[in-house]
Amino acid sequence: MGKIAFVFPGQGSQSVGMGQVAFNENEKSKEIFKIADNRLGRELSSIIFNGPQDLLTKTVNAQPALLTTSIALLEYLKEEGITPDYTAGHSLGEYSALVASGAIDFSDAVYAVSKRGEFMEEAVPNGEGTMAAVLGLDQGSLKEITDAVTIDGNSVQLANLNCPGQIIISGTVAGVEKAGEQAKEKGAKRVLPLNVSGPFHSELMKPAAEKFTSILNEINIKDADIPVITNVTASPINKNQDIKEKLIEQLYSPVLWEDSVQKMIELGVDTFIEIGPGKVLSGLIKKINKNVQIYSVQDPESCVATLIALRGEGE
């Protein structure tokens, strides 16, 4: 068998009730939810398990909730002695990857992402920024469009380069709408507005990045035990100073997810384990490379199935 990568989902994968079974069945997983509640000084676990969905979806809740659920599920794999050769996460998921790699303690990470969500919500007044998924147009053509629209006075840029034929753009409402219209004219199959509270991974997030620097200076970031493939460069890092710099840049830079997956495959990864709610990353990885093994750990049952498959016990 080749190398294993643990990958962690980002905002958008949250759902009410996620992690409930892990909380009920595993003491270490239960402890993760308790640590989150204590560090944040509020009942985050109650929002995760009971909702309502619109409260859970708020950036300031969704970010720590997804991190907490992902790390609670990670505890299962750790108990079974399954360790990765690399970790990576999509946007917010990079914090889960850093916890899994030993660079940030969970308690510090959940505090940091809660503040990150707060600053991201504050950076652009509600209703002024947005994001949209552009399907079926190549990166070069779409960048030409976003660059031209931005010169025209409406800020918009490539935000998530997810997989072949799926790119997210981000910016002002007018900029995203104009770029979306031009993308359709250039041959995009569909342009889908996203239900988000702001223009994430765009230059409009620079005020959030400035504020967030002080939070990262407060917490202890260590050298990672396991290399993390960072969103900003799609390359492995493990030095604490590099990690801090990339987390700040990540707020206003594109998420190079397709390149990150390709880099892990180049480095010998043939097995990806998505840890957290939903199967968004599993779907993207399949579109990037059909030949790799992909497993999704969303609950204890799927964790057991993954362990059996990895050990070849099902043969």
Q: Which residues of 261-295 are buried (b: 16+ CB within 10 A; e: fewer)?
A: bebbbebebebbbbbbbbbbbbbbbeebbeebbbb
Are 2 and 84 spatial neighbours (Cβ–Cβ below 8 Å)? no
- Over the Cα atoms of the chain, what is R_g? 19
Q: What are the catalytic residues?
A: 91, 201
Could you tell me which residues come within 8 angstroms of residue 130 by beta carbon, excluding any fewer than 6 positions away? 170, 171, 172, 173, 176, 193, 194, 196, 198, 199
| Whole-number Å distance between alpha carbons of 217 and 221 | 9
Cβ of 37: how many Cβ atoms within 10 Å?
A: 16
CB 116 within 8 A of CB 218: no
> What end-to-end distance do the CA atoms of the chain give, in Å?
15
* 162 contacts 284 by C-beta, under 8 angstroms: yes
